[in-house]
């Protein structure tokens, strides 16, 4: 029994004791098991065909600075075919007139974060291997808006380096950079 010798727990109502007992047992199992590790970037379903094991940890292979001006940057890292990588985009930049944008959204202070640029013809945000701003970009989405402005997507290796640029309808009035990390097994 997990709480043997903890008399104060047994003075609690039965329902509370059951919850504590289950939670305590789960914590004891996780803490005491040498086969379990916690890494917030690693999940069994993240593993790609080229990964050594389903729980192979990801680590930073390269960090790129992606200009908000829309300039295309290229990685020096070649992403191997058959390996699933993770791309982590973070930070904010001025996307015109002092309005901030991140990898996927802009002008979140107006209440609802916006995804399309002001002309409604460009999906604003960082595009990967997709140099031309258009109504859609790749990846189609970096995920739901988050106030941390940190987003991650799985990305398949293609045997080449990757390119990244910020998509906007009028990028010449932008200022600053976003950070893009390539994470690999």
pLDDT band at 15; cut points 50, 70, 90: very low
Asked if residues 77 and 140 have their Cβ atoms less than 8 Å apart, the reply is: no
Residue located via tokens 């015109």 = 96
Q: Are residues 88 and 16 in the same domain?
A: no
CA atoms of 182 and 2, how far apart (whole Å): 43
Q: Are residues 2 and 51 in the same domain?
A: no
pTM above 0.85, yes or no: no
Which of 27-31, 102-106, 115-119 shows the highest mean pLDDT? 102-106
pLDDT band at 56; cut points 50, 70, 90: low
Other Cβ atoms less than 10 A from the Cβ of 174: the count is 20
Q: Are residues 94 and 54 in the same domain?
A: yes
Q: Are residues 32 and 101 in the same domain?
A: no
Q: Are residues 61 and 6 in the same domain?
A: no
At 164-178, the pLDDT tens digits run 999 999 999 999 999
Least confident of 21-25, 89-93, 127-131, 143-147: 21-25
Other Cβ atoms less than 10 A from the Cβ of 82: the count is 12
CA atoms of 84 and 183, how far apart (whole Å): 9
Total domains, the chain: 2
Q: Are residues 162 and 88 in the same domain?
A: yes
């Amino acid at each position: 029994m997990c709480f043997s010798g903890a008399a104060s727990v047994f003075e609690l109502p039965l329902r509370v004791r059951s919850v504590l007992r289950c939670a305590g047992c789960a914590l004891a199992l996780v803490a005491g098991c040498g086969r379990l590790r916690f890494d917030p970037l690693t999940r069994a379903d993240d593993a790609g065909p080229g990964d050594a094991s389903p729980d192979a940890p990801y680590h930073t292979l390269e960090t790129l600075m992606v200009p908000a001006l829309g300039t295309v940057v290229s990685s020096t890292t070649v992403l191997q075919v058959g390996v699933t990588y993770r791309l982590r985009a973070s930070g904010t930049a001025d996307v015109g007139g002092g309005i901030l944008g991140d990898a996927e959204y802009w002008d979140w202070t107006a209440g609802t974060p916006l995804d399309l640029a002001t002309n409604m013809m460009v999906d604003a945000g960082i595009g990967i291997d997709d140099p031309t701003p258009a109504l859609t970009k790749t990846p189609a989405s970096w995920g739901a808006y988050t106030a941390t402005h940190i987003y991650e997507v799985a990305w398949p290796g293609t045997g080449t380096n990757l390119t990244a640029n910020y998509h906007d309808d009028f990028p010449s009035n932008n200022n600053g950079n976003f950070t893009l990390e390539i994470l690999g097994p």
